[in-house]
């Protein structure tokens, strides 16, 4: 599209907003862009911020391509229209709404409650910021038909978002996701939204739900006696300015852990995230202050949760006593190994249990599943697909737990999304269990590598911003799809999984089989020597992700550094092959 034509389109959209019932501040900002800031006008109006299958996420600001009360209102109106149609036989339809620490989150949550109530839908609104897992829990606890969490998770401070949940406590999936998307698309004007809330239909909720959530979370402990025996384990915890500030340390204290150290600078709740560039526990810089504090107090480990407290990053001491970051795959391995070993030791495995992981998570987790003869599911990236498995089999099978490579894990089925609150408690419990055997968490991880195999993973995110960036990411995916590599890591590619085409291509036999999973724009290349490369555009950020996994044998703890370095070299070589360095 020519710039002249694009500019004409965005001016038309901007004028439609000016002709709508908007506030004076928004009106003045649009008028300023029309007169003085053509570039920002295009970025703000060149498209409509898409209400995708998980909701909204974008930069805050004025315009159709930004997070603001009007895009939030239009999304909520579409959600309400669908709820009113889907639950037309109910006397009362209700939605529970929570928000994180981000700038404008309380405003967007209140806007959501107002629009729901204006449509005759009861809105339970939390009295302050709450973690995402508590929102998921509250949906079923309050017998709601839907839930909304206002959060942009770990995105930079300029972002905010809106995650929609269904009555089972999981994020919306098919067919409700596409149906709600269509309803939102049908909201063509700001004036279609009912913004005037009915206060009689808005009910504040708070401590009573907190108590029930905490009690259920704490009940997932498997070895309370060992926690009591090793209650002096030293833990540094940081919420990185977010919603975990109360709930996470409180859960661990209720379990019995006594030495929990805060990072005062990061206990300050702030959407500006003043101590970090990005509030993402996957990025080592976000843990710098916590690591410094841990050395000051000689802590055994560090935990850090993202702003909505659904993901947790950890650091443990290695065999030299140095604090090292444990990646999301390693964390998932430790949790899976512990849960299954303890369920087995306590005679709880009856053949009717299952676990789940995402397709880009380490295959070491699958190896552990197989060793315990546990039924498991490989699902697309996103905990809504794990939640769907729980919902689908809840009358037949017991869900033990499941996770993904990006620091997300869920224990039990009382929450139907990532749950850093319960996960932090369980990680502390694993540390107590390891100490009972004279080991650290690092020792335990090496033992697992020796028992199974040493898998090493890496992730590269390539960012491309704006309209041109989105087009470049699409072109990259098309190139990998049309011209796939024949060899990776010095080994033949023996299988290609194209989740958009929903087909698995066996390069050795020439056979094609269905993936058995919903459509998703993901490609996977598996080689003869067990290397796996996955390519996936992010659904929430302007980037394309490359996931690498290689494996080797670890015969003794003493070989760790050598084998780890060799596996790292192999990953770097793959990056060179794919021209990502």
Q: What are residue 348's phi and psi, to 5 degrees?
A: -90, -15
Q: Structure tokens of 346?
A: 């306590």
Angstrom distance (rounded) from CA 320 to CA 149: 42
Kindly report the three-state secondary structure assignment for every residue of 407-436: CEEEECCCCCCCCHHHHHHHHHHHHHHHHH
Q: Is 1 exposed, middle or buried (0-12, 13-18, 19+ CB in 10 A)?
A: exposed
List CB contacts of 413: < 8 A, sequence separation 6 or more: 390, 394, 399
Q: Which uninterrupted H or E stretch holds 371?
A: helix 363-371
List CB contacts of 562: < 8 A, sequence separation 6 or more: none
Tell how strand 312-317 and strand 301-305 pair up. antiparallel
Write down the catalytic residue from 94, 153, 217, 549: 153
Angstrom distance (rounded) from CA 195 to CA 204: 19
What would you report as the CA-atom Rg of the chain, rounded to the nearest whole angstrom?
Answer: 24
Evaluate the CA torsion angle 479, 521, 547, 451 in order and state its sign.
negative
Angstrom distance (rounded) from CA 40 to CA 389: 43
Question: E-strand spans in 224-345?
Answer: 234-238, 259-262, 301-305, 312-317, 323-326
Please, are residues 500 and 534 in contact by the beta-carbon 8 Å criterion? no
Angstrom distance (rounded) from CA 84 to CA 94: 10
Angstrom distance (rounded) from CA 280 to CA 270: 14
Residues in the chain: 581
Please, are residues 564 and 456 in contact by the beta-carbon 8 Å criterion? yes
Please, are residues 310 and 153 in contact by the beta-carbon 8 Å criterion? yes
Question: E-strand spans in 359-411?
Answer: 375-379, 398-403, 409-411
Q: Structure tokens of 118?
A: 């204006």
- DSSP SS3 for 54: coil
Cα distance between the two ends of the chain: 32
Residue 482 falls in the annotated catalytic set: no
The residues annotated with a catalytic role in the active site are 153
């Amino acid at each position: 599209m020519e710039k002249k034509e694009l500019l004409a389109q965005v001016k038309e959209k901007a004028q439609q907003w000016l002709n709508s019932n908007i506030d004076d501040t928004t009106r003045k900002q649009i008028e300023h862009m029309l007169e003085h800031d053509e570039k920002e006008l295009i970025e703000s109006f060149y498209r409509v911020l898409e209400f995708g299958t998980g909701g909204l996420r974008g930069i805050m600001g004025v315009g159709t391509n930004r997070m603001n009360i009007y895009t939030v209102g239009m999304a909520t109106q579409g959600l309400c229209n669908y709820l009113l149609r889907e639950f037309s036989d109910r006397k009362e339809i209700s939605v529970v709404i929570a928000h994180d620490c981000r700038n404008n989150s309380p405003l967007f949550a209140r806007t959501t409650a107002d629009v729901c109530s204006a449509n005759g839908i009861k809105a339970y609104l939390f009295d302050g910021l709450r973690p995402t897992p508590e929102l998921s829990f509250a949906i079923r606890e309050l017998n709601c038909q839907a839930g909304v969490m206002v959060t942009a998770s770990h995105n930079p401070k300029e972002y905010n978002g809106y995650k929609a949940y269904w009555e089972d406590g999981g994020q919306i999936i098919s067919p409700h996701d596409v149906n709600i998307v269509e309803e939102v698309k049908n909201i063509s004007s700001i004036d279609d939204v009912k913004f005037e809330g009915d206060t009689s239909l808005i009910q504040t909720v708070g401590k009573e739900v907190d108590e029930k959530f905490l009690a259920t979370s704490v009940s997932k402990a498997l070895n309370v006696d060992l926690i009591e025996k090793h209650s002096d384990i030293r833990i540094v915890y940081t919420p990185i300015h977010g919603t975990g500030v109360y709930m996470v340390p409180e859960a661990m204290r209720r379990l019995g852990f006594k030495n929990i150290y805060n990072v005062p600078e990061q206990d300050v709740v702030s959407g500006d995230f003043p101590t970090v560039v990005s509030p993402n526990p996957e990025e080592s810089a976000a843990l710098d202050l916590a690591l410094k504090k841990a050395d000051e107090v000689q802590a055994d480990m560090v935990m850090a949760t993202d702003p909505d407290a659904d993901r947790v990053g950890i650091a443990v001491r290695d065999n030299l006593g140095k604090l090292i970051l444990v990646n999301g795959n390693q964390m998932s391995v430790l949790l899976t190994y512990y849960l299954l070993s303890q369920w087995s030791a306590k005679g709880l495995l009856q053949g009717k249990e299952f676990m789940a992981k995402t397709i880009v998570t380490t295959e070491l987790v699958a190896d552990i599943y197989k060793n315990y003869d546990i039924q498991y599911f490989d699902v697309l990236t996103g905990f809504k697909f794990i939640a769907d498995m729980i919902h689908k089999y809840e009358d037949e099978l017991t869900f033990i737990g499941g996770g993904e490579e990006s620091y997300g894990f869920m224990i039990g089925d009382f929450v139907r999304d990532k749950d850093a609150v319960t996960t932090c408690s369980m990680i502390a419990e694993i540390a107590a269990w390891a100490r009972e055997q004279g080991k650290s968490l690092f020792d335990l991880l090496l033992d697992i590598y020796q028992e199974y195999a040493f898998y090493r993973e890496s992730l590269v995110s390539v960012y491309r911003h704006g309209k041109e960036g989105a087009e470049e990411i699409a072109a990259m995916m098309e190139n990998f799809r049309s011209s796939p590599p024949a060899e990776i890591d010095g080994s033949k590619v023996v299988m290609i999984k194209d989740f958009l085409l929903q087909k698995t291509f066996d390069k050795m036999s020439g056979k094609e089989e269905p993936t058995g999973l919903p459509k998703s724009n993901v490609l996977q290349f598996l080689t003869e020597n067990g290397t796996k490369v996955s390519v996936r555009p992010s659904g929430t950020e302007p980037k394309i992700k490359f996931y690498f996994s290689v494996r080797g044998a670890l015969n003794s703890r003493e070989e760790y550094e050598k084998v780890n370095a060799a596996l790292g070299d192999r990953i770097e070589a793959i990056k060179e092959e794919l021209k990502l360095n």
